[in-house]
Structure 1
């Protein structure tokens, strides 16, 4: 008679995904690769990069998708800068879409890895913040995750692991992540495209800074930064209302 009980997963298998992520992050900084992902580096080579991107749009988009997926998967603390760089190279639309796809892939890798190891630890040892996340995911995983992606109330990596710990369905996670991060990503990419307009100008003065391609993305970024404050104020107002 066979035992139908599922055998426990060896500890090394459960922590292998997290170990790979930590090793990749250490290698990234150990080899000094972060120096290539700066606006200064791009500005110094802007013409060469732009010419290549114009002649090889799909290859450039694929490259950004792969790099951004890796950056997200190892929880590299420079995602906003990477989005600016994508907008700088490809413009708002193509740069933004490339980032959305790459970020969704990378976040899904973290999500699946979190199910095997870190997610369990987070669920068992989390504090009040994790308890709030658990309540939201339990009530309505799709709408709650969509709001968390649209309005960054918690760190991106924490939302990834919390969604894994509290067993959000994979298809729900991917859908909410892809569409939830899109508005903010396009705003950041447009800021990067605005920087590109500034560096391409031979006469950088107040007139350049007031161009729509520059000032509108900055207004959008300012509005985006206010969303968490507005959302938290609305939640606090609801909590204070008598039942």
Structure 2
């Protein structure tokens, strides 16, 4: 083998080694994220189990129905405090990418009603998404771009042209995890203001569907009086149909838009 051949093959080996190194880093990050989520899940299970064994005597439907009345009375007497607390809770969960956003959305719809819950969840979810977006941008963007600069240059060029449209599609179609969109968008050159308003509009329809599903759940007082038969209402059936058909409908609309382009 000549020295010229050796010099020609050296960059190929170096590039291969870099790819293996990058793959190792991605694998390590993935494992770390998995362990963190597992730890959070175990912690939540532990808290719920501890609460159940300590308060199982009072966790009856009749008792909870009585407490629901007290909660609603307190909310009507202190609306600003209740909405502020609810906003901070939802923003924290979405901003830290913790599990529980969907159950919390349903709960807010059940407790606050459709329009109040829609405003609350819409703005708090976007605030949490923007928080995760900015965290990703200022903590990870420089390191990622220094390692994968050429690849991200191509991605950023595409986002400069149609970044808002791509983000809108990602928000509208629930095909990608909420937290993943926030983190990945933070690595691009899309502006924070654009990220905020596109997310605000793009997530509105899906949020409305989940809020409606939450409002379809009967109150605890109704469940206490009617039993299991009080759960299955026509409104709840409609809500389940909407939850099932909404992603399919949105996907068809998006495909038509892309075909026209």
Give the TM-score normalised by structure 1. Answer: 0.69
Cα distance change of structure 1 residues 42 and 48 upon mapping to structure 2, 3 Å threshold:
farther
Q: Deviations over 1:134-193 (max 9, x none)?
A: 686344111211121111221111111111111210110000111111111121112112
Q: Deviations over 1:52-107 (max 9, x none)?
A: 22333332221111000000111012211110111121112111211111111111
Is the 8 Å Cα contact of residues 164 and 194 (structure 2) preserved in structure 1? yes
Is the 8 Å Cα contact of residues 53 and 89 (structure 1) preserved in structure 2? no
| 1:197 positional shift | 4.2
Return 215-224 or 115-124, whichever deviates more.
115-124
Aligned runs of 1:138-149 on 2, under 5 Å? 138-149=160-171
Q: Deviations over 1:2-40 (max 9, x none)?
A: xxxxxxxxxxxxxxxxxxxx99x978975866688xxxx
Tell me which of 44, 49, 54 is aligned to 2:76. 54
Return 169-178 or 196-205, whichever deviates more.
196-205
Distance 1:203 1:145 in 2: 45
Ranges in structure 1 where 5+ consecutive residues have no aligned partner:
1-21, 239-243
After superposition, the CA RMSD in angstroms is 3.8
- The alignment partner of 1:209 has SS state of coil
Cα distance change of structure 1 residues 190 and 42 upon mapping to structure 2, 3 Å threshold:
farther
Question: Number of residue pairs matched?
Answer: 209
Return 179-188 or 112-121, whichever deviates more.
112-121
Matched, 1:155 2:174: no
- The alignment partner of 1:218 has SS state of helix
Distance 2:187 2:109 in 1: 33
Ranges in structure 2 where 5+ consecutive residues have no aligned partner:
1-34, 52-58
Is the 8 Å Cα contact of residues 122 and 204 (structure 2) preserved in structure 1? yes
Give the TM-score normalised by structure 2. Answer: 0.64
Distance 1:151 1:133 in 2: 20
Aligned runs of 1:1-243 on 2, under 5 Å? 30=43, 44=64, 45-120=67-142, 137-197=159-219, 200-201=222-223, 202-204=225-227, 209-212=232-235, 214-227=236-249, 230=252
